[in-house]
Amino acid sequence: MSLAENIKKIRKKKGWSQKELGEMIGSHLSHINRIETGKQNPSLEVLIKLADALEVSIDGLVRGSEEDFKEIRIEDKNMAERIKLLNTMDPEDRKAVIRVIDAMLTKKKILRIVAGENQTENLAQRSFT
């Protein structure tokens, strides 16, 4: 699914109109419409606001699939308890925790990509020698 489709799907799942979502992020409904139809890509600032308003990670918003929006079963009891406690936090603190988690996951993905590129470069260099 594309970013535009993900935004629209999550918004509709929450029962919000484009106008309501626009108001939540400080944007006009026509801007939301252009994003949802794929006519315009959101800036990073708008993407962060959309993820916060829709209560999903940026990764989930950008690369989301059906699996991302299904119930998740957590086997690790310590992790499950911490997640339950997150629900007791006020929304701003919860968003801050989610941003930290997103940043750590993004760092891990970037390191994997860089490691993969380095392996590819090493293989390419070996084939030329």
Instruction: Give mean pLDDT in consecutive 10-residue pieces for the chain, a chain of 129 residues.
Output: 90 93 95 95 92 87 63 75 86 90 90 75 57
Q: What is the pLDDT of residue 104?
A: 92
For residue 68, which amino acid is it?
D
Answer yes or no: do 54 and 107 share one domain. no
Domain at 16, CATH number: 1.10.260.40
Answer yes or no: do 15 and 45 share one domain. yes
Residue-range definition of the domain harbouring residue 49: 3-69
Q: What is the pLDDT of residue 66?
A: 47
Say which residues have a Cβ less than 8 Å from residue 19's Cβ, sequence separation at least 6.
Answer: 29, 32
Answer yes or no: do 33 and 56 share one domain. yes
Answer yes or no: do 10 and 39 share one domain. yes
Write down which residue in 69, 91, 106 finishes a domain.
69
Write down which residue in 69, 97, 115 finishes a domain.
69
Answer yes or no: do 27 and 61 share one domain. yes
- φ, ψ of residue 28 in degrees (nearest 5): -90, 150
Answer yes or no: do 60 and 81 share one domain. no
Q: What is the pLDDT of residue 80?
A: 82
